[in-house]
A and B are shown apart, each in its own frame.
Chain A
Amino acid sequence: MRNPTTIEPVPGRTDEMIINMGPQHPATHGVLKVVIGLDGERITRAVPHIGFLHRNHEKIEEARTYTQIISYTDRMDYVSGLQNELPFILAVEDLLGVEVPPRAKLIRTIFFELFRIASHLVWLGTGMLDLGAITPFLYTFRDREKILEITEKTAGARMLPNYFTFGGVRRDVHPDFFKDVAAFLDFFETRLPDYYALVLDSPVFQARAVGVGVLSKERAIARGASGPVIRASGVPYDVRKAEPYDAYPELEFEIPTREEGDVYARFWVRFREMEESVKIIRQALEKVPKTGPYKGKVPPRVKPKPGARYRAVEIARGHLGAYVVSDGSEYPARIKHRSPSFANLQLIPDLFVGARFADAIAILSSLDPVFGEVDR
Protein backbone atom coordinates (compact mmCIF):
# COMPACT_ATOMS: atom_id res chain seq x y z
CA MET A 1 0.00 0.00 0.00
CA ARG A 2 1.19 3.46 -0.71
CA ASN A 3 2.27 5.38 2.35
CA PRO A 4 0.38 8.67 2.19
CA THR A 5 3.05 10.55 4.08
CA THR A 6 5.95 9.99 1.71
CA ILE A 7 6.31 11.59 -1.67
CA GLU A 8 6.99 9.51 -4.71
CA PRO A 9 8.99 10.80 -7.63
CA VAL A 10 6.82 11.74 -10.56
CA PRO A 11 7.65 9.37 -13.44
CA GLY A 12 9.46 11.16 -16.20
CA ARG A 13 10.19 14.20 -14.14
CA THR A 14 13.92 14.43 -13.60
CA ASP A 15 14.29 17.99 -12.41
CA GLU A 16 12.72 17.32 -9.02
CA MET A 17 14.98 16.26 -6.19
CA ILE A 18 13.45 14.70 -3.08
CA ILE A 19 15.25 15.31 0.19
CA ASN A 20 14.59 14.74 3.84
CA MET A 21 14.89 17.67 6.19
CA GLY A 22 15.19 16.28 9.69
CA PRO A 23 14.48 14.60 12.02
CA GLN A 24 18.01 15.44 13.11
CA HIS A 25 18.15 18.78 11.38
CA PRO A 26 19.34 21.47 13.79
CA ALA A 27 16.81 24.00 12.52
CA THR A 28 13.71 21.89 13.07
CA HIS A 29 13.49 22.75 16.79
CA GLY A 30 13.19 19.18 17.88
CA VAL A 31 12.32 16.13 15.90
CA LEU A 32 10.41 17.16 12.83
CA LYS A 33 11.03 15.56 9.49
CA VAL A 34 9.82 17.25 6.33
CA VAL A 35 10.08 15.41 3.04
CA ILE A 36 10.67 18.10 0.48
CA GLY A 37 10.57 18.03 -3.28
CA LEU A 38 12.94 20.60 -4.75
CA ASP A 39 13.09 22.07 -8.20
CA GLY A 40 16.33 23.96 -8.06
CA GLU A 41 15.87 26.29 -5.12
CA ARG A 42 12.07 26.19 -5.14
CA ILE A 43 10.08 23.78 -3.05
CA THR A 44 7.51 21.91 -5.08
CA ARG A 45 6.08 19.61 -2.44
CA ALA A 46 6.42 19.32 1.33
CA VAL A 47 5.10 16.62 3.64
CA PRO A 48 5.73 16.95 7.38
CA HIS A 49 6.26 13.83 9.46
CA ILE A 50 5.61 14.03 13.17
CA GLY A 51 5.39 11.53 15.97
CA PHE A 52 9.04 10.98 16.80
CA LEU A 53 8.44 12.25 20.31
CA HIS A 54 5.11 10.56 20.89
CA ARG A 55 4.92 9.18 24.41
CA ASN A 56 1.27 8.41 24.95
CA HIS A 57 0.71 11.44 27.08
CA GLU A 58 -3.07 11.34 27.27
CA LYS A 59 -3.22 7.64 28.02
CA ILE A 60 -0.64 7.93 30.79
CA GLU A 61 -2.67 10.69 32.32
CA GLU A 62 -5.78 8.52 32.44
CA ALA A 63 -3.91 6.16 34.75
CA ARG A 64 -2.91 8.94 37.17
CA THR A 65 -4.85 10.77 39.83
CA TYR A 66 -5.77 14.40 39.23
CA THR A 67 -2.98 15.75 41.44
CA GLN A 68 -0.38 13.60 39.73
CA ILE A 69 -1.42 14.74 36.27
CA ILE A 70 -0.40 18.36 36.85
CA SER A 71 3.26 17.44 36.73
CA TYR A 72 2.72 15.64 33.42
CA THR A 73 1.02 18.59 31.74
CA ASP A 74 4.22 20.60 32.30
CA ARG A 75 6.00 18.28 29.95
CA MET A 76 3.98 19.12 26.88
CA ASP A 77 5.41 22.46 25.85
CA TYR A 78 8.54 22.39 27.94
CA VAL A 79 9.69 25.83 26.81
CA SER A 80 6.72 27.49 28.48
CA GLY A 81 6.29 24.76 31.09
CA LEU A 82 4.20 26.50 33.69
CA GLN A 83 1.64 27.77 31.19
CA ASN A 84 0.64 24.23 30.24
CA GLU A 85 -0.67 23.42 33.69
CA LEU A 86 -3.40 26.00 33.58
CA PRO A 87 -6.04 24.66 31.13
CA PHE A 88 -6.19 21.32 32.92
CA ILE A 89 -6.34 23.01 36.31
CA LEU A 90 -9.07 25.41 35.21
CA ALA A 91 -11.14 22.54 33.86
CA VAL A 92 -10.83 20.52 37.06
CA GLU A 93 -11.50 23.60 39.18
CA ASP A 94 -14.75 24.08 37.29
CA LEU A 95 -15.72 20.47 37.85
CA LEU A 96 -14.85 20.71 41.54
CA GLY A 97 -16.52 24.09 41.99
CA VAL A 98 -13.47 25.54 43.74
CA GLU A 99 -13.14 29.27 44.44
CA VAL A 100 -9.73 30.70 43.61
CA PRO A 101 -8.69 33.63 45.84
CA PRO A 102 -7.99 36.82 43.86
CA ARG A 103 -4.40 36.93 45.10
CA ALA A 104 -3.74 33.44 43.78
CA LYS A 105 -5.22 34.47 40.43
CA LEU A 106 -2.88 37.43 40.21
CA ILE A 107 0.17 35.35 41.16
CA ARG A 108 -0.78 32.83 38.50
CA THR A 109 -1.14 35.60 35.95
CA ILE A 110 2.26 37.07 36.81
CA PHE A 111 3.92 33.68 36.35
CA PHE A 112 1.93 33.04 33.20
CA GLU A 113 3.16 36.21 31.56
CA LEU A 114 6.72 35.72 32.80
CA PHE A 115 6.75 32.39 31.05
CA ARG A 116 5.39 33.96 27.90
CA ILE A 117 8.38 36.29 27.88
CA ALA A 118 10.72 33.38 28.63
CA SER A 119 9.26 31.32 25.83
CA HIS A 120 9.40 34.15 23.32
CA LEU A 121 13.01 34.76 24.29
CA VAL A 122 13.89 31.15 23.52
CA TRP A 123 12.04 31.42 20.25
CA LEU A 124 13.87 34.63 19.36
CA GLY A 125 17.27 33.19 20.21
CA THR A 126 16.88 29.88 18.43
CA GLY A 127 14.92 31.40 15.57
CA MET A 128 17.69 33.86 14.86
CA LEU A 129 20.23 31.06 15.22
CA ASP A 130 18.45 29.34 12.34
CA LEU A 131 18.80 32.48 10.29
CA GLY A 132 22.50 32.68 11.09
CA ALA A 133 22.63 35.25 13.85
CA ILE A 134 24.36 34.07 17.01
CA THR A 135 24.40 37.21 19.16
CA PRO A 136 20.64 37.36 19.91
CA PHE A 137 20.83 33.79 21.14
CA LEU A 138 23.43 34.67 23.78
CA TYR A 139 21.48 37.73 24.85
CA THR A 140 18.06 36.10 25.06
CA PHE A 141 19.28 33.16 27.09
CA ARG A 142 20.94 35.48 29.55
CA ASP A 143 17.67 37.37 30.02
CA ARG A 144 15.59 34.23 30.23
CA GLU A 145 17.91 32.96 32.94
CA LYS A 146 16.66 35.75 35.19
CA ILE A 147 13.07 34.57 34.78
CA LEU A 148 14.08 31.02 35.52
CA GLU A 149 15.88 32.13 38.67
CA ILE A 150 12.81 33.99 39.89
CA THR A 151 10.73 30.90 39.16
CA GLU A 152 13.11 28.58 40.95
CA LYS A 153 13.14 30.71 44.08
CA THR A 154 9.38 30.44 44.47
CA ALA A 155 8.19 27.45 42.49
CA GLY A 156 11.07 25.07 43.10
CA ALA A 157 12.14 24.31 39.55
CA ARG A 158 13.28 26.22 36.54
CA MET A 159 11.39 24.89 33.57
CA LEU A 160 8.84 22.36 34.78
CA PRO A 161 7.86 23.67 38.17
CA ASN A 162 4.55 21.90 38.89
CA TYR A 163 3.57 25.04 40.77
CA PHE A 164 -0.07 25.78 39.97
CA THR A 165 -2.58 23.61 41.68
CA PHE A 166 -6.33 23.31 42.07
CA GLY A 167 -7.57 26.42 43.79
CA GLY A 168 -4.44 28.50 43.44
CA VAL A 169 -0.73 27.86 43.73
CA ARG A 170 1.19 25.31 45.74
CA ARG A 171 3.05 27.58 48.10
CA ASP A 172 3.26 31.24 48.90
CA VAL A 173 5.78 33.29 46.98
CA HIS A 174 9.30 33.95 48.19
CA PRO A 175 9.55 37.26 50.11
CA ASP A 176 11.76 38.70 47.34
CA PHE A 177 9.36 37.70 44.58
CA PHE A 178 7.60 41.00 43.88
CA LYS A 179 10.85 42.92 44.18
CA ASP A 180 12.62 40.50 41.85
CA VAL A 181 9.89 40.64 39.22
CA ALA A 182 9.83 44.44 39.26
CA ALA A 183 13.63 44.49 38.94
CA PHE A 184 13.46 42.06 36.05
CA LEU A 185 10.90 44.17 34.23
CA ASP A 186 13.07 47.26 34.57
CA PHE A 187 16.05 45.30 33.30
CA PHE A 188 14.11 43.76 30.47
CA GLU A 189 12.82 47.09 29.24
CA THR A 190 16.38 48.28 28.80
CA ARG A 191 17.08 45.14 26.78
CA LEU A 192 14.14 45.22 24.39
CA PRO A 193 15.64 48.07 22.30
CA ASP A 194 18.70 45.87 21.77
CA TYR A 195 16.54 43.14 20.31
CA TYR A 196 14.75 45.60 18.09
CA ALA A 197 18.09 46.91 16.87
CA LEU A 198 19.61 43.48 16.34
CA VAL A 199 16.61 41.77 14.78
CA LEU A 200 13.43 43.56 13.86
CA ASP A 201 14.83 46.86 12.64
CA SER A 202 17.83 45.36 10.91
CA PRO A 203 17.60 45.58 7.10
CA VAL A 204 19.51 42.30 6.88
CA PHE A 205 16.77 40.52 8.78
CA GLN A 206 14.04 42.36 6.90
CA ALA A 207 15.50 41.22 3.60
CA ARG A 208 15.02 37.64 4.72
CA ALA A 209 11.63 38.07 6.31
CA VAL A 210 9.46 40.61 4.54
CA GLY A 211 7.11 38.97 2.07
CA VAL A 212 8.35 35.46 2.86
CA GLY A 213 5.90 32.70 3.74
CA VAL A 214 2.75 34.75 3.38
CA LEU A 215 -0.21 33.18 5.12
CA SER A 216 -3.63 34.44 4.17
CA LYS A 217 -6.34 35.02 6.71
CA GLU A 218 -8.56 32.34 5.17
CA ARG A 219 -5.85 29.67 5.20
CA ALA A 220 -4.96 30.48 8.79
CA ILE A 221 -8.56 30.10 9.91
CA ALA A 222 -9.13 26.99 7.81
CA ARG A 223 -6.12 25.23 9.30
CA GLY A 224 -7.04 26.14 12.87
CA ALA A 225 -3.92 28.17 13.48
CA SER A 226 -3.74 30.20 16.67
CA GLY A 227 -1.45 32.36 18.69
CA PRO A 228 0.98 34.78 17.06
CA VAL A 229 0.65 32.93 13.75
CA ILE A 230 -3.01 33.79 13.29
CA ARG A 231 -2.61 37.26 14.77
CA ALA A 232 0.09 38.02 12.23
CA SER A 233 -2.44 37.20 9.51
CA GLY A 234 -4.90 39.78 10.71
CA VAL A 235 -7.19 37.75 12.97
CA PRO A 236 -7.28 39.32 16.44
CA TYR A 237 -8.01 36.05 18.21
CA ASP A 238 -6.59 35.68 21.69
CA VAL A 239 -8.05 33.41 24.37
CA ARG A 240 -7.10 35.96 27.01
CA LYS A 241 -9.73 38.27 25.49
CA ALA A 242 -12.09 35.72 23.95
CA GLU A 243 -12.61 33.58 27.05
CA PRO A 244 -10.81 35.40 29.87
CA TYR A 245 -9.47 33.33 32.71
CA ASP A 246 -7.71 34.06 35.99
CA ALA A 247 -7.00 37.76 36.47
CA TYR A 248 -7.13 38.79 32.82
CA PRO A 249 -10.60 40.40 32.94
CA GLU A 250 -9.30 43.05 35.37
CA LEU A 251 -6.15 43.85 33.42
CA GLU A 252 -5.81 46.08 30.41
CA PHE A 253 -3.78 45.03 27.43
CA GLU A 254 -3.84 45.03 23.66
CA ILE A 255 -3.75 42.20 21.19
CA PRO A 256 -1.00 43.07 18.70
CA THR A 257 -2.25 42.20 15.23
CA ARG A 258 -0.75 42.65 11.81
CA GLU A 259 -2.21 42.15 8.36
CA GLU A 260 0.70 40.95 6.22
CA GLY A 261 0.97 37.35 7.41
CA ASP A 262 4.62 37.00 6.45
CA VAL A 263 7.60 35.95 8.56
CA TYR A 264 8.30 39.55 9.51
CA ALA A 265 4.73 40.00 10.80
CA ARG A 266 5.00 36.89 12.97
CA PHE A 267 8.26 38.15 14.44
CA TRP A 268 6.73 41.58 14.97
CA VAL A 269 3.68 40.18 16.78
CA ARG A 270 5.86 38.24 19.22
CA PHE A 271 8.01 41.28 19.90
CA ARG A 272 4.95 43.35 20.68
CA GLU A 273 3.56 40.56 22.82
CA MET A 274 6.62 40.71 25.02
CA GLU A 275 5.97 44.41 25.52
CA GLU A 276 2.33 43.71 26.36
CA SER A 277 3.40 41.06 28.85
CA VAL A 278 5.59 43.60 30.61
CA LYS A 279 2.58 45.89 30.83
CA ILE A 280 0.33 43.12 32.15
CA ILE A 281 2.82 42.10 34.82
CA ARG A 282 3.26 45.70 35.94
CA GLN A 283 -0.50 46.09 36.41
CA ALA A 284 -0.72 42.75 38.21
CA LEU A 285 2.14 43.74 40.52
CA GLU A 286 0.26 46.86 41.48
CA LYS A 287 -2.94 44.97 42.17
CA VAL A 288 -1.62 41.92 43.97
CA PRO A 289 -1.86 42.03 47.77
CA LYS A 290 1.53 41.34 49.31
CA THR A 291 0.09 38.86 51.76
CA GLY A 292 -3.03 36.80 51.93
CA PRO A 293 -4.38 33.43 50.89
CA TYR A 294 -2.71 31.73 47.98
CA LYS A 295 -4.94 28.70 47.73
CA GLY A 296 -8.65 28.07 47.96
CA LYS A 297 -10.32 25.26 49.87
CA VAL A 298 -9.78 21.99 48.04
CA PRO A 299 -10.64 18.55 49.42
CA PRO A 300 -7.51 16.47 50.09
CA ARG A 301 -8.71 13.82 47.67
CA VAL A 302 -9.58 15.44 44.39
CA LYS A 303 -12.71 13.72 43.12
CA PRO A 304 -14.65 15.94 40.71
CA LYS A 305 -18.32 15.36 40.07
CA PRO A 306 -19.11 13.33 36.96
CA GLY A 307 -19.13 15.58 33.95
CA ALA A 308 -16.96 17.05 31.26
CA ARG A 309 -15.34 20.41 30.85
CA TYR A 310 -13.21 22.11 28.21
CA ARG A 311 -11.05 25.07 29.14
CA ALA A 312 -8.48 26.87 27.08
CA VAL A 313 -5.71 29.35 27.70
CA GLU A 314 -3.45 31.39 25.47
CA ILE A 315 0.07 30.05 25.89
CA ALA A 316 3.02 31.53 24.05
CA ARG A 317 2.23 29.42 20.99
CA GLY A 318 -1.51 29.82 20.91
CA HIS A 319 -4.71 28.18 22.01
CA LEU A 320 -3.99 25.34 24.42
CA GLY A 321 -7.02 23.50 25.66
CA ALA A 322 -7.76 20.62 27.95
CA TYR A 323 -10.89 18.50 27.82
CA VAL A 324 -11.43 16.57 31.03
CA VAL A 325 -14.08 13.90 31.43
CA SER A 326 -14.69 12.85 34.99
CA ASP A 327 -16.57 9.76 36.08
CA GLY A 328 -16.57 10.74 39.72
CA SER A 329 -13.55 8.68 40.67
CA GLU A 330 -10.01 9.73 41.55
CA TYR A 331 -8.89 9.06 37.99
CA PRO A 332 -10.14 10.98 34.97
CA ALA A 333 -12.06 8.96 32.42
CA ARG A 334 -10.53 10.82 29.50
CA ILE A 335 -8.24 13.76 28.92
CA LYS A 336 -7.65 15.45 25.63
CA HIS A 337 -5.21 18.25 25.05
CA ARG A 338 -5.64 20.57 22.13
CA SER A 339 -2.20 21.89 21.36
CA PRO A 340 -1.38 24.96 19.29
CA SER A 341 1.88 23.86 17.67
CA PHE A 342 0.23 20.78 16.25
CA ALA A 343 -2.36 22.86 14.44
CA ASN A 344 0.18 25.45 13.39
CA LEU A 345 2.42 22.77 11.88
CA GLN A 346 -0.32 21.83 9.43
CA LEU A 347 0.53 25.05 7.66
CA ILE A 348 3.83 23.58 6.45
CA PRO A 349 2.56 22.41 3.05
CA ASP A 350 0.76 25.73 2.53
CA LEU A 351 3.72 27.86 3.41
CA PHE A 352 6.62 25.80 2.10
CA VAL A 353 5.41 25.13 -1.43
CA GLY A 354 6.72 27.81 -3.72
CA ALA A 355 9.20 29.15 -1.20
CA ARG A 356 12.96 28.87 -1.51
CA PHE A 357 14.60 26.16 0.53
CA ALA A 358 16.52 28.67 2.66
CA ASP A 359 13.27 30.47 3.40
CA ALA A 360 11.72 27.24 4.64
CA ILE A 361 13.96 27.51 7.68
CA ALA A 362 12.81 31.07 8.31
CA ILE A 363 9.16 30.03 7.94
CA LEU A 364 9.58 27.13 10.33
CA SER A 365 11.20 29.26 13.00
CA SER A 366 8.43 31.84 12.63
CA LEU A 367 5.88 29.09 13.35
CA ASP A 368 7.80 28.24 16.54
CA PRO A 369 6.76 24.64 17.11
CA VAL A 370 7.77 22.74 20.24
CA PHE A 371 7.68 19.04 19.73
CA GLY A 372 6.87 17.97 23.23
CA GLU A 373 3.49 19.44 22.58
CA VAL A 374 3.05 18.51 18.91
CA ASP A 375 3.52 14.81 19.56
CA ARG A 376 2.38 14.46 23.18
Chain B
Amino acid sequence: MSLFAEVWDAVKAVAAGLETVHRRVKQPPATEFYPYKKPEIPPVSVQFLALIQNEDGTDRCVACLQCERVCPSQVITIERKRNPEGKGFVLERFDLDFANCMHCANCVEACPVSAIVTVGEFEHAVYDINFLKADKAFLDHIGHEAKIWYSPKFGVEMRTPEGKIVKAPPEMQPGGLAELLKEAEGGEGA
Protein backbone atom coordinates (compact mmCIF):
# COMPACT_ATOMS: atom_id res chain seq x y z
CA MET B 1 0.00 0.00 0.00
CA SER B 2 1.31 3.39 -0.84
CA LEU B 3 1.94 5.89 1.90
CA PHE B 4 -0.84 8.08 0.60
CA ALA B 5 -3.37 5.25 0.78
CA GLU B 6 -2.28 4.44 4.31
CA VAL B 7 -2.68 8.02 5.46
CA TRP B 8 -6.04 8.24 3.76
CA ASP B 9 -7.15 5.02 5.54
CA ALA B 10 -6.11 6.43 8.88
CA VAL B 11 -8.00 9.66 8.27
CA LYS B 12 -11.07 7.66 7.32
CA ALA B 13 -10.72 5.54 10.47
CA VAL B 14 -10.52 8.61 12.68
CA ALA B 15 -13.54 10.06 10.94
CA ALA B 16 -15.48 6.81 11.44
CA GLY B 17 -14.56 6.82 15.12
CA LEU B 18 -15.65 10.42 15.52
CA GLU B 19 -18.90 9.62 13.78
CA THR B 20 -19.57 6.72 16.17
CA VAL B 21 -18.87 8.90 19.17
CA HIS B 22 -20.93 11.73 17.76
CA ARG B 23 -23.99 9.50 17.45
CA ARG B 24 -23.82 8.85 21.20
CA VAL B 25 -23.17 12.38 22.37
CA LYS B 26 -26.81 13.29 22.84
CA GLN B 27 -27.49 10.46 25.28
CA PRO B 28 -28.08 11.29 28.92
CA PRO B 29 -24.97 11.05 31.09
CA ALA B 30 -24.24 7.71 32.73
CA THR B 31 -22.54 9.23 35.76
CA GLU B 32 -24.19 10.34 38.98
CA PHE B 33 -23.34 13.33 41.13
CA TYR B 34 -22.60 11.14 44.06
CA PRO B 35 -22.12 13.30 47.14
CA TYR B 36 -25.07 15.48 46.14
CA LYS B 37 -27.27 12.68 44.96
CA LYS B 38 -27.06 9.47 46.92
CA PRO B 39 -27.52 6.35 44.81
CA GLU B 40 -30.12 3.87 45.94
CA ILE B 41 -28.50 0.71 47.15
CA PRO B 42 -30.66 -2.42 47.32
CA PRO B 43 -31.05 -3.80 50.84
CA VAL B 44 -29.44 -7.13 49.91
CA SER B 45 -26.23 -5.27 49.14
CA VAL B 46 -23.60 -6.14 51.71
CA GLN B 47 -22.27 -2.85 53.01
CA PHE B 48 -22.64 -1.99 56.67
CA LEU B 49 -24.08 -4.76 58.77
CA ALA B 50 -26.48 -3.96 61.57
CA LEU B 51 -27.99 -5.58 64.61
CA ILE B 52 -31.75 -5.34 64.66
CA GLN B 53 -33.67 -4.82 67.87
CA ASN B 54 -37.31 -5.71 68.25
CA GLU B 55 -40.01 -3.10 68.44
CA ASP B 56 -39.95 -3.24 72.24
CA GLY B 57 -36.21 -2.53 72.32
CA THR B 58 -34.99 -6.03 73.17
CA ASP B 59 -32.22 -7.66 71.20
CA ARG B 60 -33.18 -10.09 68.50
CA CYS B 61 -29.79 -11.68 68.90
CA VAL B 62 -29.82 -14.79 71.07
CA ALA B 63 -26.02 -14.99 71.34
CA CYS B 64 -25.80 -18.33 69.60
CA LEU B 65 -22.30 -17.58 68.22
CA GLN B 66 -23.20 -18.89 64.75
CA CYS B 67 -22.06 -15.69 63.04
CA GLU B 68 -18.77 -15.72 64.90
CA ARG B 69 -18.17 -19.28 63.80
CA VAL B 70 -18.81 -18.81 60.08
CA CYS B 71 -16.98 -15.51 59.62
CA PRO B 72 -14.05 -16.19 57.27
CA SER B 73 -12.11 -13.11 58.38
CA GLN B 74 -12.83 -13.78 62.06
CA VAL B 75 -13.80 -10.20 62.80
CA ILE B 76 -16.82 -10.88 65.01
CA THR B 77 -16.16 -11.15 68.73
CA ILE B 78 -19.01 -12.10 71.02
CA GLU B 79 -19.08 -12.47 74.76
CA ARG B 80 -22.20 -13.80 76.37
CA LYS B 81 -23.52 -14.74 79.76
CA ARG B 82 -26.35 -16.92 80.99
CA ASN B 83 -29.65 -15.13 81.04
CA PRO B 84 -30.34 -14.40 84.73
CA GLU B 85 -34.10 -14.49 84.22
CA GLY B 86 -35.05 -17.44 82.05
CA LYS B 87 -33.39 -19.57 79.42
CA GLY B 88 -30.60 -18.93 76.94
CA PHE B 89 -27.90 -16.31 76.84
CA VAL B 90 -27.64 -12.55 76.67
CA LEU B 91 -24.98 -10.53 74.90
CA GLU B 92 -22.29 -8.85 76.90
CA ARG B 93 -20.21 -7.73 74.00
CA PHE B 94 -20.63 -7.83 70.23
CA ASP B 95 -17.73 -6.35 68.29
CA LEU B 96 -17.39 -6.30 64.53
CA ASP B 97 -14.31 -4.95 62.84
CA PHE B 98 -15.50 -3.47 59.55
CA ALA B 99 -11.93 -2.63 58.61
CA ASN B 100 -11.20 -6.33 58.12
CA CYS B 101 -14.66 -7.53 57.18
CA MET B 102 -14.73 -8.90 53.63
CA HIS B 103 -18.45 -8.26 53.17
CA CYS B 104 -19.30 -11.82 52.33
CA ALA B 105 -22.59 -11.92 54.28
CA ASN B 106 -21.84 -15.38 55.65
CA CYS B 107 -22.85 -14.10 59.08
CA VAL B 108 -26.18 -12.88 57.74
CA GLU B 109 -26.79 -16.26 56.11
CA ALA B 110 -25.98 -18.12 59.29
CA CYS B 111 -28.03 -16.15 61.81
CA PRO B 112 -31.00 -18.27 62.90
CA VAL B 113 -33.11 -15.31 64.12
CA SER B 114 -32.29 -12.61 61.55
CA ALA B 115 -30.59 -10.45 64.12
CA ILE B 116 -27.58 -9.47 62.04
CA VAL B 117 -28.71 -8.03 58.70
CA THR B 118 -27.46 -6.16 55.67
CA VAL B 119 -28.62 -2.58 55.28
CA GLY B 120 -28.10 -0.52 52.17
CA GLU B 121 -25.86 1.96 53.99
CA PHE B 122 -22.53 2.23 52.25
CA GLU B 123 -20.63 5.31 53.37
CA HIS B 124 -17.67 3.57 54.94
CA ALA B 125 -15.03 6.20 54.21
CA VAL B 126 -13.52 7.54 57.43
CA TYR B 127 -10.29 9.29 58.30
CA ASP B 128 -9.39 7.01 61.18
CA ILE B 129 -9.54 3.26 60.72
CA ASN B 130 -10.54 2.85 64.36
CA PHE B 131 -13.93 4.32 63.53
CA LEU B 132 -14.62 1.12 61.68
CA LYS B 133 -14.25 -1.04 64.77
CA ALA B 134 -17.90 -1.28 65.65
CA ASP B 135 -19.29 -2.28 69.03
CA LYS B 136 -22.82 -3.32 69.89
CA ALA B 137 -24.06 0.23 70.45
CA PHE B 138 -22.87 1.22 67.00
CA LEU B 139 -24.43 -1.79 65.29
CA ASP B 140 -27.69 -1.20 67.17
CA HIS B 141 -27.57 2.41 66.07
CA ILE B 142 -27.25 1.45 62.40
CA GLY B 143 -30.11 -0.97 62.93
CA HIS B 144 -32.29 1.78 64.36
CA GLU B 145 -31.42 4.23 61.60
CA ALA B 146 -32.06 1.67 58.88
CA LYS B 147 -35.35 1.99 57.07
CA ILE B 148 -34.98 -1.24 55.16
CA TRP B 149 -32.86 -4.33 55.60
CA TYR B 150 -32.46 -7.89 54.44
CA SER B 151 -31.84 -11.26 56.04
CA PRO B 152 -32.42 -14.65 54.42
CA LYS B 153 -34.85 -15.83 57.06
CA PHE B 154 -37.39 -12.98 57.01
CA GLY B 155 -36.53 -11.45 53.64
CA VAL B 156 -36.59 -7.68 53.22
CA GLU B 157 -38.10 -5.89 56.19
CA MET B 158 -38.97 -2.23 56.65
CA ARG B 159 -39.51 0.08 59.55
CA THR B 160 -42.62 2.23 59.27
CA PRO B 161 -42.46 5.88 60.43
CA GLU B 162 -44.19 4.77 63.65
CA GLY B 163 -41.38 2.34 64.38
CA LYS B 164 -43.19 -0.86 63.52
CA ILE B 165 -41.30 -3.59 61.68
CA VAL B 166 -43.15 -4.92 58.66
CA LYS B 167 -42.31 -7.16 55.73
CA ALA B 168 -41.55 -5.30 52.52
CA PRO B 169 -43.84 -5.75 49.49
CA PRO B 170 -42.98 -8.65 47.15
CA GLU B 171 -41.56 -6.32 44.48
CA MET B 172 -38.58 -5.85 46.77
CA GLN B 173 -38.17 -9.40 48.02
CA PRO B 174 -35.72 -11.80 46.45
CA GLY B 175 -37.95 -14.49 45.02
CA GLY B 176 -40.95 -12.18 45.29
CA LEU B 177 -41.80 -13.09 41.72
CA ALA B 178 -43.79 -16.14 42.82
CA GLU B 179 -46.11 -13.99 44.90
CA LEU B 180 -46.38 -11.34 42.21
CA LEU B 181 -47.33 -13.88 39.57
CA LYS B 182 -49.91 -15.43 41.87
CA GLU B 183 -51.40 -12.00 42.57
CA ALA B 184 -51.53 -11.23 38.87
CA GLU B 185 -53.34 -14.52 38.21
CA GLY B 186 -55.73 -13.93 41.09
CA GLY B 187 -56.42 -10.43 39.79
CA GLU B 188 -57.31 -11.78 36.36
CA GLY B 189 -59.51 -14.48 37.80
CA ALA B 190 -61.51 -12.03 39.95
Contact = CB atoms under 8 A, between A and B. Distances in A.
Given A171-B175, A294-B175, A203 B180 contact: no
A223 interface: no
B181 A291 contact: yes
B99 interface: no
B177 interface: yes
Contact of B174 (A70, A171, A207): A171
Interface in B163-190: 170-178, 180-181
A154 B177 CA distance: 13
B106 A162 contact: yes
Contacts of A203: 9-10, 12-13
Contacts of A67: 70, 106
A225 B152 CA distance: 41
Interface string A159-178: 01010000000111111100
Contact of B170 (A65, A71, A173, A175): A175
Interface string B10-23: 10111011001100
A155 B174 CA distance: 10
A135 interface: yes
Contact of A72 (B41, B72, B180): B72
B38 interface: no
Count class of interface residues, chain A? 35 or more
A113 B102 CA distance: 25
Nearest to A68: B72
Contact of A194 (B10, B24, B173): B24
B37 to A, nearest CB: 16
Count class of interface residues, chain B? 35 or more
A231 B89 CA distance: 60
A198 B19 CA distance: 10
B150 to A, nearest CB: 8
A64 interface: yes
Nearest to B12: A203
B72 A71 contact: yes
Contacts of B12: 203
Given A65-B70, A135-B21, A175 B177 contact: yes
A64 B42 contact: no
Nearest to B169: A175
Contacts of A152: 41-42, 44-45
A186 interface: no
A291 B16 contact: no
Nearest to A165: B109
21 contacts: A65-B70, A142-B30, A145-B30, A154-B44, A155-B44, A156-B42, A156-B105, A157-B46, A157-B103, A160-B103, A171-B152, A173-B174, A173-B175, A174-B42, A175-B175, A194-B20, A194-B24, A197-B20, A198-B17, A202-B13, A204-B14
Interface of B: 6, 9-10, 12-14, 16-17, 20-21, 24, 30, 41-42, 44-46, 70-72, 102-106, 109, 118, 150, 152, 170-178, 180-181
Given A154-B44, A175-B172, A202-B16, 16 more contacts: A67-B106, A68-B106, A71-B106, A142-B30, A152-B44, A156-B46, A156-B150, A157-B45, A171-B44, A172-B177, A174-B42, A176-B171, A194-B24, A203-B9, A290-B178, A294-B175
